[in-house]
Structure 1
Amino acid sequence: MKALFHPTYFPNIATVAAMIKNEVVWEVNDNYQKQTFRNRCNICNDQGKHLLTIPIKHVGGSSGRQRYKDVKIDNSYNWQRQHWRTLQTSYRTSAYFEFYEDELEPLFHEEFDSLLEFNLKTIAFITEALGIDLAYLKTESFNLNFNEGLDMRFLVNAKKEFTLSQEPYFQVFDDRNGFVPNSSTLDLLFNEGTNALNYLQNQNLSFLDA
């Protein structure tokens, strides 16, 4: 079934679990909104949940609105170096970080201008690491309602809480912080490695019917 998603920064487990069970359509004609996973993701470190945020260039004018596909990354701040160092510090003792490190590191050294295109690169890394070939379409215009299948655009909202019946897996700092649910799929990959796809395929997606 077709399902409409916003491309996000290293998408979380709920998003990827839904992606791999549907035919993905990317929403690329919406207006950019703040406080969403378009430019942020949650990882786990020794303090628990930790937010990584990509700085963007804000437009001026009375409306301050811009299309997501037109949003530019603010590279005046060396956010890539900070994000990469944070990932190294957080996951260097995980079982599989070194397994993915060489393929992941270039994303934090090559400068990107478009937030949308960078996010698609991070998603490509996730799908390649999972060993799946994700075919997808892109919207040609914005529509408030999606009548061709499942509308998954709500998953982009970083402030909206929903219940994900997620079976815990081992996390590096779970002895200190307990299990942190629905983190970026990077967390799952670094801790579960080749078992990550099987884990995602077995996720309960009942929250989509809530």
Structure 2
Amino acid sequence: MLARHERAIIDIGEHYVRQSYRTRTRIVGPNGPQDLSVQIEHDHGNKMPMREVHLSRAETWPQQHLHAIRSAYGNAPWFIHYIDDIEAVLLAPHDRLIDLNMATLRLGLQWLGLTPAITVEDAYVEHDPATYLDLRSALHPKKPLPPDLDTGASYAQVFEQRHGFVPGCSVVDLVMNLGPEARGWLLRA
């Protein structure tokens, strides 16, 4: 979506939503689609503002994510160009979920050469359909993409012969498979 927009608002005052893309991302590995979930401390349900959600460092999820990414994309054409960036973000000492999410957002934008103006709002942002497109609840791993967001476009994936094209994957999947062509693909899709 950010490939087609000049600015975005990140609402860290919104309530944390369990089992959402706020704590997970999808890749495609040898066994098919795989969701990588970030572990958080004290899940207080959907009542906690995003700015207060802290990452759990008691778990080894960063190492598990790196292992899964290496297994999924070790043979991808652009693996060697991106894995060090991914490792740096995952192993950095982020305290809050929003800090990790912002670091991954910045990395994805850097890879894609996109420069939208990003505004971080600390207080909950009321939805105003005349002003902006609100995607806070539109994208969820357990729901299909809304028709206006699903272009149906595909690209070659590492395990496509085994699983077919798997839509809805992370920018990691896109850049590992397309490299510098990822931006052009997004703009055309």
Q: TM-score, normalised by structure 1?
A: 0.82
User: For this pair of structures, how many residues does the alignment match?
Assistant: 184
1:207 — aligned with what?
A: none
Please say which of residues 145-154 and 171-180 is displaced more in the overlay. Answer: 145-154
Please say which of residues 84-93 and 144-153 is displaced more in the overlay. Answer: 144-153
Q: Are positions 1:91 and 2:73 aligned together? A: yes
Q: Deviation digits for residues 118-164 of structure 1, max 9, x if unmatched?
A: 10000111011112223211224224422422112233422221341
Instruction: Give the Cα–Cα distance (whole angstroms) in 2 for the partners of residues 19 and 79 of structure 1.
Output: 27
* Unmatched segments (≥5 aa) in structure 1: 1-17, 204-210
Instruction: Give the Cα–Cα distance (whole angstroms) in 2 for the partners of residues 144 and 103 of structure 1.
Output: 35
2:140 — aligned with what?
A: 157
How large is the Cα RMSD of the aligned pairs?
1.7
Q: Deviation digits for residues 60-102 of structure 1, max 9, x if unmatched?
A: 6xx8721111100111011101101110111010000101122
CA contact (8 A) 1:59 1:65 kept: no
The structure-2 alpha-carbon separation of the partners of 1:87 and 1:146, relative to structure 1 and needing over 3 Å to count, comes to same
Instruction: Give the Cα–Cα distance (whole angstroms) in 2 for the partners of residues 78 and 48 of structure 1.
Output: 22
Q: TM-score, normalised by structure 2?
A: 0.90
Secondary structure of the corresponding residue to residue 137 of structure 1: strand
2:118 — aligned with what?
A: 136
Offset, 1:109: 2.0
Instruction: Give the Cα–Cα distance (whole angstroms) in 1 for the partners of residues 94 and 140 of structure 2.
Output: 23
2:12 — aligned with what?
A: 28
Task: Please list every run of at least 4 consecutive aligned residues from structure 1 whose deviation after the TM superposition is greater than 4 angstroms.
Answer: none
Offset, 1:112: 1.4
Letter in 2 for 1:33: V
Please say which of residues 137-146 and 164-173 is displaced more in the overlay. Answer: 137-146
* Pick aligned residue for 1:169 from 155, 158, 166: 155
Instruction: Give the Cα–Cα distance (whole angstroms) in 1 for the partners of residues 15 and 59 of structure 2.
Output: 24
* Pick aligned residue for 1:196 from 162, 173, 182: 182
